Copies of this chain bind each other. A is one copy, B any other.
Amino acid sequence: MTAEPFKIGLLGHGTVGAAFAELLPERADQIAATTGLRPEITGVLTTSRGTFEEILAASDLVVELIGGLEPARGYVLAAMAAGKHVVTANKQLLAHHGEELWAAAREHGVQLRFEAAVAGVVPVIRVLQESLAAAHVDRVHGIVNGTTNFILTQMASTGASYADALAEAQRLGYAEADPSDDVNGKDAAAKMAIIARLAFDTPVHLDDVRYEGIEQITQEDIAYARDLGLSLKLIGTAERVGEGISVRVHPAFLYAGHPLASINGSFNAVTVESPAITEITMSGPGAGGPQTASAVLGDVISAMIPPASTPETTQQLPVVADAESAFYLHLEVEDRPGVLAQIAQLLGLQGASIKSVVQQGTGSGARLVMVVHPMLESKFFAAVDLISRLDFLRGTPRAIRVLDEEFAA
């Protein structure tokens, strides 16, 4: 089946634009299989390449990844006036000119999608606009800037000063050469303006958002807080206050049990509170070229396909019965020489590699508790079956899987 082309005009070919141009062809076959349309980039605009009018004329949908207010605003308006759907990652544009742009989208009957503008792959826009479209939202808390969360995590985990943590973030590409809008809270403020607009169905401009950044945070603050069981994050808040709303960004301490307390490194996360649902928390990488491009692609596909269709399956993958897993193994044994060696040998014959062993108790009440590295379950259980027949074993071996060793401290 040859799928019809779906033509995408790409405005901007920087960090995100180039990542999008790389991701799209990788996924085009799969998209063609499920939608019947094959997306392709039919024009690219940069400061040195392409003209907007030609690109517009040749596209079904326009992706805006230039950033800034102008000419991005003019291009987005012109594209919608020409009846094209638009996908953008431009939070400043929406925090300044959102109402104008959304009105134009309604007027021209086109879609204006912007998931990538707010929290990268964390689908907060879609959830607010769709899942919670009719929910009465009381409050949204978010960690919506990955740069600052990385810096604060560094300071907490390594004891680094603010300046050193910032330098490390720049070295690793988590902070720009000029990090001002990240560390002073303005980037997060623009995102919270967009979130508040959607959560409360009321106009919210960047100017409505009070913000403070993290430049004043000292290592001492973080150390004291740790003593109090708190962790420090740059938190965006959008909440109802009496008959009005409050939208703000500032550093805040969180108790260990808070759903945002465990969001570390450059990840973003958003918690939405509403009486009917209690709360939803979503987390994931908040920025980075490939991640942002993936959020852009999700929006592009949504504009291509009819809503909520469950396409035909495109594959018939075999379901495999065996799987790999690490295991915890708990054995009650008689405490006599050679016990551990025999058990280790039976495990070793099946290819198991033992990560840790703890022996507890003595005599006939002794216990061996071990964790083995990931291996095929069938082989592990074959070893356990042999172990269970050893004469020094008391009681049935107890085996429980252990997930994802990469999270071991």
Contact = CB atoms under 8 A, between A and B. Distances in A.
A409 B255 contact: yes
Contacts of A313: 99, 197, 201-203
B293 A276 contact: yes
Q: Which of A133, A308, A356, A408 has the most CB of B within 10 A?
A: A308
A2 interface: no
Interface in A127-174: 127, 129-136, 141
A103 B244 CA distance: 47
Given A105-B310, A203-B316, A309-B105, A282 B285 contact: no
Please classify the interface of chain A as helix (H, G, I), strand (E, B), loop, or mixed, using the class held by over half of its residues. mixed
Interface stretch (A10-18, A57-65, A118-126, A341-349): A118-126
Contacts of A106: 309-312
Given A102-B310, A251-B401, A255-B405, A200 B291 contact: no
Given A111-B309, A281-B283, A402-B230, A317 B105 contact: no
A6 interface: no
Contacts of A105: 309-310
Contacts of A256: 407, 409
B314 A201 contact: yes
B404 A258 contact: yes
A369 interface: yes
Given A27-B136, A31-B134, A407 B254 contact: yes
Interface string A228-239: 111010010101
Given A224-B328, A252-B402, A253-B401, 16 more contacts: A31-B133, A106-B309, A106-B312, A121-B280, A202-B316, A208-B319, A210-B321, A217-B400, A221-B328, A244-B318, A254-B407, A255-B404, A258-B403, A277-B285, A279-B284, A282-B283
21 contacts: A30-B201, A31-B134, A102-B310, A112-B308, A112-B310, A121-B280, A134-B301, A141-B404, A197-B313, A203-B313, A204-B319, A208-B319, A224-B330, A227-B369, A239-B323, A241-B320, A241-B324, A252-B325, A274-B294, A278-B291, A279-B284
